[in-house]
Structure 1
């Protein structure tokens, strides 16, 4: 076996999704139209490079609306916010642009619609993730979080006649399916989404890792530690029996990870820009790789419209 990497195998698709593209464009257009500073509640997307780039252009990232001055322009992050945060922003009179991914908004609207019909909910997701907090925060009560199969046994809904399930959009497709099966077994009458809540980009990137993993000796995922979908890609490769590492930037890549590995698989989470992928390619080439091969994969053409007031 070669002591140095010979080939880089690129997953397709990888990197930015339509929701991330839209969220970043909303902040950049708000800066161009209204000038700095623009306040953003929570990291617009979970990527250190993107956040630092927007900070350099005049975006100020906050968690608490107390940190936003009167009359300011405020952007909600791609992960979505609770009803309480929306109401507070409105009451304070901020000019608000909502960068919530439309696929997350779809889940919020489904929760609101079914709650009006008397439903309670089971939400499959990761406790503390801003998307989960935003979705659960659409209701004051009646939404129960499960993180794994074991949690399902502990759910105590007030009634089971009207019970629906929703999921965080960036979960592992396989893990979510296992939890969903446990939910269905315990609550056979539960209402499921017409289309799964896990977003097309999360699904496509996981499918691409499934295609790539058997063809490579190690998988490198470009993504920040806070990025749920990036973490799921690294986990998936490991479950498929391939060593996998996640890096925020190329300088985090360690030569020993690639020692004795001829084929290096490379992908990126939905919030990681291609410029970082290219930096990692250059770093692997510096360690000996001489070829780059792109795999076939799903072609993504999704584009989401910008909010009123920011369109060209």
Structure 2
């Protein structure tokens, strides 16, 4: 599908869906409403979502991002990030007397609730995820013991259990759907009695964006993913395309685009991770136009309509208006 060597890009194909999901919209709105209601500064444990633009925008409005709760003064307002926190962090924040708003994505909270419930029933757990990711640390931190992290198929062979008949599996919500399925198959092969969640833990937005890239990558010569390096779901989108033989690059913003990526590539695919705002996508489109692109076309795909409610104490206005203002 490549154009002649040196030819400029001609067409941009937009993935659908792309960009913000309901959990990200909710998390950002929680910080913005807390700033409006209580004034700056508002403290946020960890980056509210993994996107440089979003974090810098909230910093400019008065949010202070911290990792250690000792950095938060007594009586301050604290927001937990969308990735969730361990029980130890939650307990420390309560003990320190902060006013707390929990921006944990409800789909991550669902995993936390499942883990707590099944632990009470005597289960150990295998968690499929990436070591060091804050969501993984938060989920594993729901328990004092009995949860084993596996990052790949090889890790499954190393797991030692007290009772293999009382094993359940949970998954980081932002993994590659294909990778998670491969690792889960290995878990089930070794532990046939493993209990799976009633609904898969990988979130709807992660699934939808990966499905959209699978469709898009077959139609383009190169794919651009808008997302920050720390964003798990954005990295997975790039990998999905590459595994299908489509060159793919991830950029934090339009300035990172390199003209050489588009030499001889007439059709450019464009998507964005679930924590990347549409503003950045539009800026990338304008930069691609400067490279020679003359048309933009949106691919068919799922139209997402899910919304999550805000925590009590932050008002009851519809999230739709705020979400629209950020898109």
For the criterion TM > 0.5, the same-fold answer is: yes
Deviation at 1:53, TM superposition (A): 0.0
Deviation at 1:120, TM superposition (A): 0.3
Instruction: Quote the residue 1:223 is aligned against.
Output: 227
CA shift digits 1:24-82 (9 cap, x unpaired): 00000000000000000000000000000000000000000000000000000000000
Q: Of 26, 29, 32, which residue of structure 1 is paired with 2:36?
A: 32
Aligned length: 312
CA distance in 1, matches of 2:176, 2:240: 8
CA distance in 2, matches of 1:271, 1:122: 27
CA shift digits 1:188-224 (9 cap, x unpaired): 0000000000000000000000000010000000000
Instruction: Quote the residue 1:104 is aligned against.
Output: 108
Q: Within 5 Å, give how 1:132-211 maps onto structure 2.
A: 132-211=136-215
CA distance in 1, matches of 2:152, 2:67: 28
Instruction: Quote the residue 2:48 is aligned against.
Output: 44
Q: Of 89, 94, 113, which residue of structure 2 is paired with 1:90?
A: 94
Deviation at 1:158, TM superposition (A): 1.7
Structure 1 unmatched runs, 5+: none
CA distance in 2, matches of 1:12, 1:111: 33
CA distance in 1, matches of 2:18, 2:218: 17
Residues 15 and 273 in structure 1, CA contact (< 8 A), matched pair in contact too: yes
RMSD: 0.5
TM-score, normalised via structure 2 length:
0.95
Deviating beyond 3 angstroms after TM superposition, the runs of 4 or more aligned structure 1 residues are none
Q: Within 5 Å, give how 1:57-96 maps onto structure 2.
A: 57-96=61-100
Structure 2 unmatched runs, 5+: 317-327
Residues 144 and 157 in structure 1, CA contact (< 8 A), matched pair in contact too: no
CA shift digits 1:201-258 (9 cap, x unpaired): 0000000000000100000000000000000000010000000000000000000001
Instruction: Quote the residue 1:234 is aligned against.
Output: 238
TM-score, normalised via structure 1 length:
1.00
Q: Does 1:19 align with 2:32?
A: no
Deviation at 1:159, TM superposition (A): 1.4
